[in-house]
Amino acid sequence: MTDTPDQPLPAGSHHPAPEGVTVVDHPLVQHKLTLMREHDTSTASFRQLLREISLLLAYEVTRTLPMTTKRIATPIQEMDAPTIEGKKLALISILRAGNGLMDGILDLVPAARVGFVGLYRDPATLEPVQYYFKVPGRMEDRICIVVDPMLATGNSSAAAVDLLKEAGARDIRFLCLLAAPEGIARMRAAHPDVAIVTAAIDSHLNGHGYIVPGLGDAGDRMFGTK
Ligand code: URA
């Protein structure tokens, strides 16, 4: 980890996407992300932007959902129409910042089941410790989308996926807003089967574990705490 450089950093992702990582470079996503990054963006705007951007990211993370067809009748003719296969979605929020990303996705997939994973970092060992874990039943039959806006060190994300796998989950995707290369490397090493979708891969982590250039503390910015 290095400290924050003085020079402004260029636009766009700072690293090419490694295998298993999708960077959503859609203009609307990138525009909204820029507004969210800005220091002066209010809590209300930040929250609204996060809701909007989460819809666009959800579009990408659900792109590979398995499809089937069903026989329907339009007013004109019967047809075999495409529909998402019966596998039920589970959205898993890593507390607390994950909740901000989840709300928008639920607008798009209102029938999804929802789970929560709460982890804090032990100040002595710096290892993630579980304080809350509640997920829907039959995780082995579900497609899990784990949401956390900031993939920083990757320690809590990797630990959350460990817990979900222990609960039976097999098909897991990870959705974040910003990723640091360190977090991506950690997740890919621990869980190479988990595809990652993000709006950008930033430069690096600073000495305090913040993503650079990042957007600051996502939880504080969305909930107006500090
Ligand atoms: N969590 C945040 O909210 N921001 C960061 O930059 C890193 C972790």
Whether residue 162 lies in the annotated active site? no
Question: Measured from the CB, is residue 154 less than 6 Å from ligand 1?
Answer: no
Confidence of residue 1 (pLDDT cuts 50, 70, 90): very low
For a ligand 1 pocket test, name from 187, 204, 210 the mutation site with the most ligand atoms within 8 angstroms of its C-beta.
Answer: 210
Residue 13 clears pLDDT 90, i.e. is over it:
no
Peptide bond into 213 cis (omega under 30): yes
| Ligand 1 atom closest to 212 (CA) | 6
Is pLDDT at 3 greater than 80 in this prediction? no
How many whole angstroms separate alpha carbon 207 and alpha carbon 35?
Answer: 25
The model's pLDDT over 96-141, given as tens digits with 9 standing for 90+, comes to: 899 999 988 999 899 999 999 999 877 777 678 999 999 999 999 9
Q: What is the pLDDT of residue 163?
A: 97
State the residue for tokens 């930033």.
202
| pLDDT tens string 151-209 | 999 999 999 999 999 999 999 999 999 999 999 999 999 999 999 999 999 999 999 89
State pLDDT tens for residues 39-58. Answer: 999 999 999 999 999 999 99
Assess whether 217 carries a catalytic annotation: yes
- Determine whether 125 is an active site residue: yes
Q: Residues 76-86: what's their mean pLDDT?
A: 93
Residue positions in the annotated binding site for uracil? 211, 216-218
pLDDT at 144: 97
In sequence order, the 6+-apart residues with CB closer than 8 A to the CB of 13 are 23, 25, 200, 201, 202
Ordered structural domains, the chain, with CATH? 21-223 (3.40.50.2020)
Give the closest residue (by CA) to ligand 1 atom 4.
217
Give the residue, by CA position, lying nearest to ligand 1 atom 3: 217
Q: Which class for 197: exposed (0-12), middle (13-18), buried (19 or more C-beta within 10 A)? A: buried
Residue 212 burial (CB count, 10 A): 17
**Alpha-helical regions (H) of the chain:** 27-37, 43-61, 98-108, 155-166, 181-190, 218-223
In three-state secondary structure terms, 58 is helix
Structure tokens that stand for 125 in this block: 């060992």
Tell me, using a 6 A CB cutoff, whether residue 218 lines ligand 1: yes
The structure tokens listed for 49 are 């932007």
Task: Identify the pLDDT of residue 121.
Answer: 79
Question: What is the reported pLDDT for 56?
Answer: 95
The alpha carbon of 148 and the centre of ligand 1 are apart by a number of angstroms equal to: 10
Site of tokens 């002595």: 124
Please indicate whether residue 80 is annotated as part of the active site: no
pLDDT at 16 over 90: no
Whether ligand 1 lies within 6 angstroms of the CB of 152 is answered as yes
What is the ipTM score, two decimals? Answer: 0.95
- Render 96-114 in DSSP notation, one character per residue: TTHHHHHHHHHHH-TT-EE
- How crowded is the C-beta side of 129, counted as CA atoms within 13 Å? 8
- Between the CA of 31 and the centroid of ligand 1 the distance, in Å, is 20
User: Is it the case that residue 2 has pLDDT exceeding 50?
Assistant: no
Q: Would you say the CB of residue 98 lies under 6 angstroms from ligand 1?
A: no
Structure tokens given for 143 = 């497609």
Greatest C-alpha distance within the chain: 68
